[in-house]
Amino acid sequence: MNIQANMVKDTLPALLTIENGKKVQSTFSKQEYENRHRKLRQMMADQQVDSVLFSSMHNINYYVDFLYCSFGRFFGVVVTDQKVVSISANIDGGQPWRRTVGDYNVVYTDWQRDNYFRAVAQEIPNKGRVGVEFDHLPIERLNKLKAFLPNVEFVDISATCMKLRMVKSLEEIAHIKQGAAVCDIGGFALTAAIKEGVHEHEVALASTQAMVREIAKRFPHSELMDTWTWFQSGINTDGAHNPVTTRQVQKGDILSLNCFSMIAGYYTALERTQFFDHCDDASLKIWQANVKVHEAGLKLIQPGARCCDIANELNEIYLEEGLLQYRTFGYGHS
């Protein structure tokens, strides 16, 4: 039976196309994606890169509007001067094709080992220079790419592509503003849920549910995923990334409010410090110093300013307040 099953398996396809249903509405306009592809191809020409293989969530989402869920499988986008092709796993069916912007979608199956790399080899000629993301490509995976494309020179384009993504278009700015507005709604819902004895997770749920419903209203064509809330109280606020717990809020607690709307892969955050019922004098003094630094930072931000110069000036304020040694991360974070 095992021999027969293996024989059948070997006859099943390694690659498929699944054009199931109709294409969905993209997050941005057709022109927006064409602009992104054009700038990428200009970079490729400048660096003498013949093809690009993206593997990260951020670049695949940026160039073809597909935010994948990996679950142990690999995804990709191949860009040449002639085509934009997405590569997805058979377990996801036709959704990647419906979602992606580009010329077509290639689906790889699980019937044979390394079918992902067969899909890549089908779409990328075995010659020239291929740009990949060294910051998102484990050595094992890079070695397999080299085995399937032995005549290719693989070069790193991750930092260059990051710089392209950093300059936001008008459509992106409008999208991010919508995300910020959704976070505000989450923040108000969170604050309304705070009361003595309430568990952290219940407060966080109130915020997340409010944001998801608002995203559904503002973006009825979108996929609803990854929007969430961090809400910490008391001792749990000592680390920025401490998880939500079942701790009950008590009077006098310091509270950390973090609302994250995730709309089509665009992360927007509302992060605030609160106190429940009352704030002790020592905490108020530190909070006022933080506000002083925040307001100074707003005045320093302008076109042409360097983040390092802004940080150095803000460090001086904290030094004067005797608080610099307590900084744990950069000013641009929150």
Cα angle value 130/77/113 (rounded, 5°): 90
Question: Torsions phi, psi of 187, nearest 5?
Answer: -65, -40
Tell me what pLDDT residue 189 has.
Answer: 99
Domain boundary among 279, 311, 326: 279
Is residue 49 domain-shared with residue 95, that is, in the same domain? Answer: yes
Q: Cα separation of 78 and 132, whole Å?
A: 10
CATH of the domain at 180: 3.90.230.10
Task: Tell me the average pLDDT across 232-248.
Answer: 96
Is residue 68 domain-shared with residue 185, that is, in the same domain? Answer: no
Is residue 239 domain-shared with residue 270, that is, in the same domain? Answer: yes
Tell me what pLDDT residue 328 has.
Answer: 87
State which residues form the domain around 246: 170-279
| 1 confidence band (pLDDT: 50, 70, 90) | low
Q: Cα separation of 130 and 48, whole Å?
A: 9
Domain boundary among 138, 166, 194: 166
Q: Cα separation of 245 and 199, whole Å?
A: 8
Active site residues: 241
Task: Tell me the average pLDDT across 26-48.
Answer: 98
Is residue 33 domain-shared with residue 181, that is, in the same domain? Answer: no
Tell me what pLDDT residue 11 has.
Answer: 85
Is residue 15 domain-shared with residue 136, that is, in the same domain? Answer: yes
In the chain, pLDDT over 70 holds for what percent of residues?
Answer: 97
- CB burial of 206-237 (b: ≥16 within 10 Å; e: otherwise) equals bbbebbbebbeeebeeebeeebbbbbbbbebb
Written as one letter, the residue type at 254 is I
In the chain, pLDDT over 90 holds for what percent of residues?
Answer: 93
Task: Tell me the average pLDDT across 188-207.
Answer: 99
Task: Tell me the average pLDDT across 204-227.
Answer: 98
pLDDT in tens, 88-136: 999 999 999 999 999 999 999 999 999 999 999 999 999 999 999 999 9
Is residue 19 domain-shared with residue 143, that is, in the same domain? Answer: yes
Is the model's pLDDT at 224 over the cut of 70?
A: yes
pLDDT in tens, 320-329: 999 999 998 8
Is residue 271 domain-shared with residue 314, that is, in the same domain? Answer: no
Domain boundary among 166, 188, 211: 166
Q: What is the DSSP letter of 133?
A: -
Contact partners, residue 49, CB within 8 Å, separation at least 6:
43, 129, 130, 131, 155, 157
Tell me what pLDDT residue 329 has.
Answer: 85
Q: Using a CB cutoff of 8 Å and minimum separation of 24, what contacts does 195-198 make? A: 195/249, 196/249, 196/250, 196/251, 196/276, 196/277, 197/248, 197/249, 197/250, 198/248, 198/249
Is residue 113 domain-shared with residue 241, that is, in the same domain? Answer: no
Domain count, the chain: 3
Is residue 161 domain-shared with residue 188, that is, in the same domain? Answer: no
Is residue 250 domain-shared with residue 303, that is, in the same domain? Answer: no
Is residue 295 domain-shared with residue 274, that is, in the same domain? Answer: no
Is residue 130 domain-shared with residue 262, that is, in the same domain? Answer: no
